[in-house]
Amino acid sequence: MATDIDDRLREVVQRLPDSPGVYKFYNDENTLIYIGKAKSIKKRVSSYFSKSSGINRKTLKLVSEIAAIDYTVANSEFDALLLENNFIKQNQPKYNILLKDDKTFPYICILRERFPRIIYTRKYLPEQGEYFGPYSSVVAMKNVLELTRKLYSIRTCSLLLSESNIEQRKFKVCLEFHLGNCKGPCEGLYDEISYREEIEQARNILKGNMNVVYQYFIKQMKAASASMEFERAQRYKEKLDTLERFQSKSLVVNREITDIDVFTITSTEEYAYVNYLQIKEGAIIFSKTIELKKKLDEPDEELLSFSAWELREQANSDNSQILTNIPIVVPEEDIENIVPKIGDKKKLIALSLKNALEMKKDKEILREGKKSKQREVLLMLQKDLQLQNPPVIIECFDNSNFQGTTPVASMVRFADGKPDKKSYRHFNIKTVEGPDDFASMKEIVFRRYKRILEEDEKLPDLIVVDGGKGQLSSACEALKELNIYGQVPVIGIAKKLEEIYYPEDPFPLHINKKSAGLLLLQQIRDEAHRFAITFHRQKRSKGQLKTEIQGLEGIGEKTAMKLLKHFKSVKKIKEASLEEIEIVIGRKKAEIIKK
């Protein structure tokens, strides 16, 4: 299996946190297929891809379908158990059913009997009773079973309690009766209706409806107190205490914290990370962390407000209370925003922020890795071109014209091996008439670096000219006139054989076609060509528009520009209906255009 994992997924596994929590596997259709819990998310997920033997076919099938991995960090392994249970109930991933629908994992079963027992079993026989589970942890399953037996008087014996057997007094009460754990239905000391009521309450525990059980005990305790049955009231009080102790083991399941949304944000200069926890019935049922690209001067408060409403909509949340780590603007009056300072709600904020910080760390590590790889490419290009310094800033020039008309040029700038689109430049050729690529190249290189010098900006580490010896010589002439020739390495790259030309060297350099450095140069050259062609097409469209439309009586340049901006080309204007043109420039002018 270790050989089946692709490099991208391997990198994700390596960056997983070494913390307790829940991990989620998605297939290539972004469908959740499996949820698991772990004391260490990283070690547990790694084990799926490192084991080579002793794995069943279902697990092998699961691993073969994994396309993406997500996780939610918890404070403890116990919290992870509860989170796993909640998430599985909400999502029902197919492999959580497939992998556990066998003898390996335990279930809790309410048997179909006159006085039903509640047992745990590794056999799934639907006709035998009502099953709950499967449980991925025997410890978690036994904790739930122990709770039901502490709260309710449910028999543990396997006697056949038929009406005739009880009437004939075939059985005697056992030690469980004397200890108060059973009310003796075997001797007819406990009626079937009352017993069934206890089973129904136990069923709520097994379904996770703790709040229903809690409210039932409160009601019974108050009723007993009102009728002066203080011993019975005390027994219900003890049951409530038992339920409290069970729930207080975990922040994740706490009936006092219910029907709320939790949002936290952490950010860097460029990115923000938002975590969302949705809580219903005292349990976390949904968790998601997202990354946002920040705009200039965009405060975290605005980002969190926007994200909160987007995530609430995705999760179909109608919770009326929102907890956040910073105050946000709430657009609806019936929704309350709280920034908790102490207590369990503050702990929930801490858990949510922990998940946001994990994604932040993960993404920063990933970016650093990409920067490192890009740095390696730049170093390789430095070696290939025999440069003194790594070409961190590269500027590339290209010309474009159509049969000598509308000559234009472009300059693209790459920083750290990535496009710096804010620094891209278009050039209208001003001093050259006709199809003279060499003279055009000299003009734009001269204009570019004359301005750089006037504005006292830093020169690039490498200048690339799209073309062979002729274009390169023209660029060098411009640099010589500016007295910066020799200060910046300059090369030409010819398209056909991808030959690299140096100034004053008649022989081209051939770089290995598989070199990452050459691939970067090709990418930069192609980007410059694309940028020039796009600009040239725009200019031709404007020229064509002026020729064909602006000459019409009653149609001026302003109207022509409106049409071009809306329809993009003369062809599309010709294809447009009168009504479509009328919307842009009015009825009268539209009729002139169509005629």
pLDDT tens digits for 34-59? 998 888 999 989 888 876 555 667 77
Structural contact between residues 465 and 396, judged by C-beta atoms closer than 8 angstroms: yes
Question: Residue 152: is its pLDDT beyond 90?
Answer: no
Instruction: Return all residues near 412 (Cβ < 8 A) that are at least 6 apart.
Output: 395, 396, 419, 424, 524, 527, 528, 531
Domain ranges of the chain: 7-213, 260-362, 393-538, 551-594
Q: Which of the following CATH numbers is that of domain 551-594: 3.40.190.10, 1.10.240.10, 1.10.150.20, 3.90.960.10?
A: 1.10.150.20
CATH fold of 7-213: GIY-YIG endonuclease (3.40.1440)
Cα–Cα nearest to 247, from 381, 344, 160: 344
Among 210-214, 251-255, 313-317, 333-337, the minimum mean pLDDT is found in 251-255
Q: How many CB atoms lie within 10 A of CB 498?
A: 15
Q: Is 169 left (phi over 0), alpha (psi -120 to 50) or beta?
A: left
pLDDT bin (cut points 50, 70, 90) of residue 365 is confident
Give 531-570 as a DSSP string: HHHHHHHHHHHHHHHIIIIITSTT--HHHHHHHHHHHSSH
22/69 Cα distance (integer angstroms): 11
**Which pLDDT score is estimated for 241?**
80
The mean pLDDT value for 569-590 works out to 80
- Pairing, β 32-38 against β 260-267: unpaired
More confident call, 349 vs 296: 349
Question: Residue 101: is its pLDDT beyond 60?
Answer: no
Domain 393-538 sits in CATH 3.30.1180.20: no
Q: Which two tokens stand for residue 167?
A: 């009437």
Cα–Cα nearest to 209, from 156, 148, 166, 157: 148
Q: Which two tokens stand for residue 303?
A: 């980002």
Cα–Cα nearest to 34, from 217, 537, 299, 44: 44
Instruction: Give φ, ψ of 416 to 5 degrees.
Output: 55, 35
Structural contact between residues 537 and 529, judged by C-beta atoms closer than 8 angstroms: no
pLDDT bin (cut points 50, 70, 90) of residue 102 is very low
**Which pLDDT score is estimated for 368?**
80
Q: What is the mean pLDDT of the chain?
A: 82
The CA distances from residue 469 to 165, 383, 387, 397, 492, in Å, are: 108, 22, 19, 14, 7
**Which pLDDT score is estimated for 6?**
65
The mean pLDDT value for 487-511 works out to 88
pLDDT bin (cut points 50, 70, 90) of residue 158 is confident
Pick the most confident of 92-106, 292-306, 387-401, 405-419.
Answer: 387-401
The number of residues in the chain equals 595
Instruction: Return all residues near 347 (Cβ < 8 A) that are at least 6 apart.
Output: 75, 251
CATH architecture of residue range(s) 260-362: 2-Layer Sandwich (3.30)
pLDDT bin (cut points 50, 70, 90) of residue 414 is very high
- Pairing, β 336-338 against β 321-324: parallel
**Which pLDDT score is estimated for 4?**
47
Structural contact between residues 16 and 45, judged by C-beta atoms closer than 8 angstroms: yes
In angstroms, the first-to-last Cα distance of the chain is: 71
CA angle 411, 413, 419 (to 5 degrees): 125
582 CB-contact burial (10 Å; exposed 0-12 / middle 13-18 / buried 19+): middle
**Which pLDDT score is estimated for 103?**
42
The mean pLDDT value for 160-165 works out to 88
Would you state the torsion angle of the CA atoms of residues 223, 227, 231, 233, taken in this order, to the nearest 10 degrees?
10
Question: Residue 1: is its pLDDT beyond 70?
Answer: no
Cis previous bond, 134, omega within 30: yes
Question: Residue 465: is its pLDDT beyond 80?
Answer: yes
Question: Residue 264: is its pLDDT beyond 90?
Answer: yes
pLDDT bin (cut points 50, 70, 90) of residue 468 is confident
Structural contact between residues 182 and 161, judged by C-beta atoms closer than 8 angstroms: no
More confident call, 35 vs 2: 35
Q: Report percent pLDDT > 70 for the chain.
A: 86
The mean pLDDT value for 277-285 works out to 76
> Fold identical between 260-362 and 393-538?
yes
588/234 Cα distance (integer angstroms): 90
3-state secondary structure (DSSP) of residue 139? helix
The CA distances from residue 142 to 22, 136, 250, in Å, are: 20, 11, 16
**Which pLDDT score is estimated for 347?**
84
Beta bridge partners of 494: 499
**Which pLDDT score is estimated for 274?**
94
Tell me the three-class secondary structure of 19-86, residue by residue. CCEEEEEECCCCCEEEEEEECCHHHHHHHHHHCCCCCCHHHHHHHHHCCEEEEEECCCHHHHHHHHHH
392/459 Cα distance (integer angstroms): 11
3-state secondary structure (DSSP) of residue 483? coil
The mean pLDDT value for 84-92 works out to 76
Question: Residue 404: is its pLDDT beyond 70?
Answer: no
Match 């050729």 to its residue by tokens: 429
**Which pLDDT score is estimated for 547?**
54
**Which pLDDT score is estimated for 443?**
92
Question: Residue 427: is its pLDDT beyond 50?
Answer: yes
**Which pLDDT score is estimated for 415?**
92
